[in-house]
Amino acid sequence: MSEAILEPDLPIIDPHHHLWDLRALMPAFPEPRHPFIEAIAGAAYYTFDQLHADVTSGHNVIGTCFMECGAFYRANSSDEMKPVGEVEFVNGVAAQSASGLYGDLRACAAIIGHADMMLGDGAIPVLEALIAAGNGRFRGIRHSAAWDANPATLGPPFHAPEGLMVSDEFQAGFANLATFGLTFDAWVLEPQLGDVIALARKFPDQPIVLDHCGTPLNIASYKGKLGENFSRWRKAIHKLAENPNVTVKLGGLAMAFCGMPEEGPAKGVNSETLAAMWRPYIETCIEAFGPERAMFESNYPVDRWGATYPVLWNAFKRITRGASDADKRALYAGTAARVYGIEDVLERA
């Protein structure tokens, strides 16, 4: 799907993408494959070359934030320290981009890694090692908590237990993030939003970023129930937004989990159609959080399931066509720059 780029001069900081090499893992997934596996199978190798090609495909992407995805872990390390390898790798990519040899883009200007919050105070040396590996770029962690009673919803890669974020063990580790001034990205599914609300209320000074609009579901037992569950999702989003320490990422809706569109990967759905699907969710989030606590994200390459990179950002721009210049600056770059501490990237634009 090829489209003319809308608002090509609008500065964008993409605050959520991955880098990985999953080729060795693909044969391990059983058949028939889950739609999520089918989506990432088409991008089993996604490193700087692929990222650079996407972010320079027409939109004015000036910087990005890397989001942990369990890739490039240390092979010869204790289990708790293995995730440090991912940050070491990504910091190298960030340095490659910052060299200027690839243009003005500052890829991976902020890095979000993983540390096991179930370690309690045992997470402290891991956080220290992650910070050191990030060489000034490490900004926070994500410990995914996505869970559903039906294993068909998430598929084989995800094994978080029920109620992870509200457990005493998790919160003992989570409490250490404030000591280091780190953010926390929360990935849960729509029925779990109450857990994020509880966490935000218990730790009101801890910055929390809700990923993917809270991941509304249109898969497995939820298939065909987006409309039925919309009011429940909307109520939870507004309740979560009452907590000023929470910011929301606007995106992820092209994932196979969300089924907007239902068929993928990248079946050529145009940005007008995608904007119509996503508008109720995006506008609800902006209404609840405001532009200063909301940021558009690509979630690439996972969202390649439903949209090419240029079409995805065109869809977002169609949704915000009537927004003020100030609101657009916040939604597309300003909020991400502030939350992840990369204001210098925006100042350069």
pLDDT tens digits, one per residue of 13-22? 999 999 999 8
Average pLDDT of span 118-130? 98
**What's the pLDDT score for residue 268?**
85
- Count of CB atoms within 10 A of residue 330's CB? 22
Looking at per-residue pLDDT, the higher value among 62 and 31 belongs to 62
- Residue-wise DSSP of 75-140: SSS-GGGTTHHHHHHHHHHHHHHHTSTT-S-EEEEEEEE---GGGGGGGHHHHHHHHHHHTT-EEE
pLDDT tens-digit profile of 191-234?
999 999 999 999 999 999 999 999 999 999 999 999 999 999 99
**What's the pLDDT score for residue 33?**
87
**What's the pLDDT score for residue 266?**
67
Average pLDDT of span 294-304? 97
- Confidence band of 274 (pLDDT split at 50, 70, 90): very high
The fraction of the chain above a pLDDT of 70, given in percent, is: 99
Distance of CA 75 to the CA centre of its chain: 25
**What's the pLDDT score for residue 124?**
98
pTM exceeds 0.95? yes
**What's the pLDDT score for residue 101?**
95
Half-sphere exposure of 102 (CA within 13 A, CB side): 21
The CATH homologous superfamily to which domain 12-348 belongs is: Metal-dependent hydrolases (3.20.20.140)
Average pLDDT of span 268-291? 97
- Confidence band of 31 (pLDDT split at 50, 70, 90): confident
For the chain, where are the alpha helices, taking DSSP H only?
35-41, 48-55, 84-98, 124-134, 151-154, 168-174, 193-202, 226-241, 271-289, 309-319, 325-329, 335-339, 343-348
pLDDT tens-digit profile of 33-69?
888 988 888 889 999 999 999 999 999 999 999 999 9
- Confidence band of 263 (pLDDT split at 50, 70, 90): confident
Is residue 1 over pLDDT 70? Answer: no
Average pLDDT of span 281-307? 97
Can you tell me whether residue 30 is helix, strand or coil? coil
Beta bridge pairs of residue 208: 184, 246
pLDDT tens-digit profile of 321-343?
999 999 999 999 999 999 999 99
**Mean pLDDT, the chain, integer:** 96
